[in-house]
Amino acid sequence: MDKKIVHYHAFMGESIVVGHPALIYPLDHPSPDVSNTKMAITSLVISVDRETGDFETENTRYVALVEVT
Protein backbone atom coordinates (compact mmCIF):
# COMPACT_ATOMS: atom_id res chain seq x y z
CA MET A 1 0.00 0.00 0.00
CA ASP A 2 1.33 3.43 -0.96
CA LYS A 3 1.13 5.94 1.83
CA LYS A 4 -0.29 9.37 1.14
CA ILE A 5 2.25 12.19 1.44
CA VAL A 6 1.44 15.29 3.47
CA HIS A 7 3.72 18.32 3.70
CA TYR A 8 3.98 20.18 7.00
CA HIS A 9 5.69 23.30 8.38
CA ALA A 10 8.78 22.26 10.33
CA PHE A 11 10.24 24.59 12.92
CA MET A 12 13.58 24.50 14.75
CA GLY A 13 13.30 22.72 18.09
CA GLU A 14 10.24 20.73 17.05
CA SER A 15 10.29 17.25 18.53
CA ILE A 16 8.77 14.25 16.74
CA VAL A 17 8.95 11.09 18.87
CA VAL A 18 8.40 7.50 17.75
CA GLY A 19 5.49 5.92 19.61
CA HIS A 20 3.73 9.23 20.24
CA PRO A 21 1.45 11.43 18.13
CA ALA A 22 3.00 14.57 16.61
CA LEU A 23 1.61 18.10 16.71
CA ILE A 24 2.14 19.68 13.31
CA TYR A 25 0.90 22.41 10.96
CA PRO A 26 -0.15 20.45 7.84
CA LEU A 27 -0.20 22.18 4.48
CA ASP A 28 -1.99 19.76 2.17
CA HIS A 29 -3.64 17.01 4.19
CA PRO A 30 -6.40 15.48 2.03
CA SER A 31 -8.81 14.66 4.87
CA PRO A 32 -11.87 16.89 5.21
CA ASP A 33 -11.38 16.57 8.99
CA VAL A 34 -8.06 18.49 8.78
CA SER A 35 -8.28 22.23 8.10
CA ASN A 36 -4.68 22.79 6.91
CA THR A 37 -4.89 26.21 8.59
CA LYS A 38 -4.23 25.23 12.21
CA MET A 39 -2.31 22.72 14.27
CA ALA A 40 -3.25 19.05 13.91
CA ILE A 41 -2.37 15.92 15.84
CA THR A 42 -1.24 12.81 13.97
CA SER A 43 -1.68 9.18 14.83
CA LEU A 44 1.29 7.44 16.48
CA VAL A 45 4.64 8.06 14.78
CA ILE A 46 6.35 4.84 13.62
CA SER A 47 9.59 6.30 12.20
CA VAL A 48 11.47 9.60 12.02
CA ASP A 49 14.31 10.82 9.80
CA ARG A 50 16.20 13.18 12.13
CA GLU A 51 18.18 14.74 9.28
CA THR A 52 15.19 15.83 7.18
CA GLY A 53 12.37 16.01 9.74
CA ASP A 54 10.28 13.63 7.65
CA PHE A 55 8.30 11.03 9.56
CA GLU A 56 5.73 8.30 9.07
CA THR A 57 2.58 7.20 10.83
CA GLU A 58 0.68 4.01 10.02
CA ASN A 59 -1.09 5.52 7.00
CA THR A 60 0.78 8.70 6.10
CA ARG A 61 4.27 9.95 5.25
CA TYR A 62 4.87 13.53 6.44
CA VAL A 63 7.46 15.61 4.59
CA ALA A 64 8.94 18.61 6.38
CA LEU A 65 9.09 22.00 4.72
CA VAL A 66 11.57 24.00 6.79
CA GLU A 67 10.76 27.62 7.49
CA VAL A 68 13.57 30.02 6.70
CA THR A 69 13.44 33.30 8.58
- pLDDT the model gives residue 68: 58
- pLDDT the model gives residue 33: 93
Q: What residues pair up with 7 in beta bridges, in sequence order?
A: 63
The pLDDT tens digits for 16-42 are 999 999 999 999 999 999 999 999 999
CB 45, CB 20: distance < 8 Å: yes
- pLDDT the model gives residue 57: 97
Residue of 15, 13, 35 whose CA lies nearest to 25: 35
Distance CA 58, CA 43 (A): 7
Predicted structure pTM score: 0.88
Angle at 40 between CA 18 and CA 56, to 5 degrees: 35
* Total count of domains within the chain: 1
**Residue 44: which domain range?**
4-66
